Amino acid sequence: MVNMPTLEEFAALQQALADALTKNESLAGELRVTRTERDLLKEQLNKFKRQLFSASSEVAGQHQKDMFFNEAESLGAQAQPTAEETDDDKIEVPGHKRAKRGRRPLDPALPREVVRHELPESERVCPHDGAALREIGVEASEQLDIIPQQVRVIRHERVKYACPCCDGTVRLAARPAQAIPKGLFTESALAWIATSKYLDGLPLYRQAALLGRFGGTDISRNTVAGSIVRLGQLVQPVVNLLRDELLDAPLVFGDETELQVLKEPGRSAQAKSYVWAQMTNGSGRDGTGPPIRLFTYSPSRSTKTAMALYAGIREGAVLMTDGYDVYDAVARTHQFVHLGCWTHCRRYFHDALQALPKEQRGPGQLAARFIALIGKLYEVEAQAKRESVVASELGRRRQQHSVPVLADIEALLLANLHAVLPKSLLGQALHYLASQWSKLNRYVEDGRYSIDNNVQENAIRPFCVGRRNWLFADTVAGANSSANLYALLQTCQVNGIDGYRYLRALFTALPKAQTADDYAALLPWRIDLT
């Protein structure tokens, strides 16, 4: 006979079973959370590993290469003739033209030294009849020769004059005004130092070593650094005029990057400071003036700093930035047309796709689908750029071809926005796209608007590369001076002006400038470089 449990025992068994089920559900929930956290951490780990060990550039696809940096790898693979080649450099063959083989001739403007190679007298005799050989021409080839920096000393001798009849008249010849009165370096030397630091990324201690090697004189790095700081302060009026031109431009690009300043009052040496970058494709109200690059040091990345940088900007200006929310406040205050950057948006999906195992990165992946659609937007831009179409035609093409693609992107976004973990890389990409959508789709409204902030990133990239060499600024004054000199050199570069020649002319002319017109004549595109 089987003993039946009592009601109390049966109730206890039910409770134990319920507790076990509850515990099992709790453990199952914890397991799901643990697996999710594990997957997120693995995704982050793959992202960091890719950042450390993989190529840093994004592979954007053939249709986007024209929109980015014209990398040497792609140019070499395509093996296309460069723009400098003319029809005279090509050989006609049936069906197509082919570039001549061999390297290009060296610049004819370079100075040349002719080294003549002649046969010895004993070999200038014909072996057949003994007649003397006569010269009938030369076979020429050229090599590029480099002479290292030549360091010399300019000795200034100011002649004294006195009256031979009395002791009351003594006169001394005046010395031309200098950028740095009683400074150690000439204007040419100062221009070389600034160009080497801010264009070539050569730190001052290496420059001091070079000067010692070529000049045989031990020059203190502090002396060089002090000269750079004074120069950066000296050029402030010219930088102010550049800012006035920039604030009057119809389209302004904005970005910022980190800079460490060691001796900043009230802050530790490890605190982050920033360099704010602003640029135009063309200054002036019609946007057809010279392009401008400006860099401004600030200890803060705050809204207050941004407001100060954009104070005085023209009404109705267009602002192109990344997704940093400080720019939203600036745009609302000044009633900008605020554009978002599709390159930044694409980068989020690129990171999400690359974090997956290789075998899972097929075209059916959601991130890959977004990248493909964004690529279609860039196809329209690349085709227009290749054909050099005007802004009105680009605007028409965007309405015809890009607007339908934007509709597809929006539909795909809405269908998947809440179906992906927000903290995953794909979730971050989707939420970035959603938060920036109103700014990202505005570029199609006008052919003059830019699809991305690449021109600004290209302008700030050399600063980031150079920063790896000099690492930090020592003082606030040094940071301000660096920003000023870097702005001038980058503005020269984008306008096709030799930065060294400009700085040399600028440092020579600055001591003589007195009025606003004098300083205006010293802007990179106005100064006399002869």
> 219-264, pLDDT tens digit by residue?
888 888 899 999 999 999 999 999 999 999 989 999 888 887 877 7
- Identity at 153, one-letter amino acid code: V
What pLDDT is recorded for position 71?
28
CB 341 within 8 A of CB 316: no
Q: How far apart are CA 506 and CA 179, in angstroms?
A: 9
Mean pLDDT throughout 502-527? 94
Does residue 62 carry a pLDDT above 80?
no
511 pLDDT band, cuts 50/70/90, is very high
Residues of the chain above pLDDT 70, percent: 84
Does residue 89 carry a pLDDT above 60?
no
Mean pLDDT throughout 114-135? 90
What pLDDT is recorded for position 236?
95
What pLDDT is recorded for position 207?
86
How crowded is residue 297: how many other Cβ atoms within 10 Å of its Cβ? 20
Mean pLDDT throughout 22-27? 75
Mean pLDDT throughout 189-203? 89
Pick the closest to residue 463 from 274, 328, 324 (CA basis): 274
Mean pLDDT throughout 110-116? 90
What pLDDT is recorded for position 53?
67
Does residue 494 carry a pLDDT above 60?
yes
Q: Which spans in 250-322 are helix H?
A: 303-309
What residues does 298 pair with on adjacent strands?
274
Write the DSSP string, 71-110: -HHHHHHHTPPPTT--GGGEEEETTEEEEPSSPPPPPTTS
Diameter of the chain by CA atoms? 151
What pLDDT is recorded for position 399?
95
Chain centre to alpha carbon of residue 522: 25
**Residues 361-412: pLDDT tens digits?**
888 899 999 999 999 999 999 999 999 999 999 999 999 999 999 999 999 9
- The contacts of residue 174 (CB under 8 Å, 6+ apart) are 158
Mean pLDDT throughout 156-163? 89
99 pLDDT band, cuts 50/70/90, is low
Among 84-88, 430-434, 488-492, the least confident range: 84-88
What pLDDT is recorded for position 237?
95
Does residue 76 carry a pLDDT above 50?
no
Between 38 and 174, residue with greater pLDDT? 174
CB 169 within 8 A of CB 163: yes
Q: 272-280 and 292-298 as β-strands: parallel, antiparallel, unpaired?
A: antiparallel
98 pLDDT band, cuts 50/70/90, is low
What pLDDT is recorded for position 503?
96
Q: How far apart are CA 272 and CA 458, in angstroms?
A: 22
**Residues 448-479: pLDDT tens digits?**
899 988 877 776 666 665 555 554 677 888 88
How crowded is residue 134: how many other Cβ atoms within 10 Å of its Cβ? 6
What residues does 339 pair with on adjacent strands?
320
Does residue 57 carry a pLDDT above 60?
no
Does residue 420 carry a pLDDT above 50?
yes
**Residues 310-356: pLDDT tens digits?**
998 888 889 999 888 899 999 988 888 999 999 999 999 999 998 88
The mean predicted confidence, pLDDT, of the chain is 82
68 pLDDT band, cuts 50/70/90, is very low
Residues of the chain above pLDDT 90, percent: 37
Domain boundaries, the chain: 347-451
